[in-house]
Amino acid sequence: MIKEEYSLSTILKLIEDCKSELNKKKKIKILKGIDSLLLRSDQIGESSLLTIKQINSALDRIEGKLLLL
């Protein structure tokens, strides 16, 4: 799920930071950063995340997978 050089707590912290960010552009930037820390098979990739609701949904899916580890 996550690249070896990154810890679960680091990514979960970034997810919380992203969820609390109000600026959509900053949310997308944080989400892309989170995505880059995941193994390629688990990355969400370049999708057209147009709404904050869609971004938060993606964050919830990533967080859910991480908490199952």
Per-residue pLDDT reduced to its tens digit, 37-53 = 999 988 887 766 678 89
Of residues 14 and 44, the one with the higher pLDDT is 14
In a domain, 2, yes or no: no
In a domain, 54, yes or no: yes
The residue segments making up the domain with residue 56 are: 8-67
pLDDT in tens, 21-42: 999 999 999 999 999 999 998 8
Name the DSSP letter for residue 40. G
Token pair belonging to 38: 């995941």
> What are the distances in angstroms from CA 21 to CA 51, 55, 68?
13, 11, 25
In a domain, 18, yes or no: yes
SS3 of 64, please? Answer: helix
Output the pLDDT for position 45: 79
pTM for the complete prediction?
0.85
Amino acid residing at 35: D
Q: Is the dihedral of CA 7, 11, 12, 13 positive or negative?
A: positive
In a domain, 16, yes or no: yes
Q: How many domains does the chain have?
A: 1
SS3 of 41, please? Answer: helix
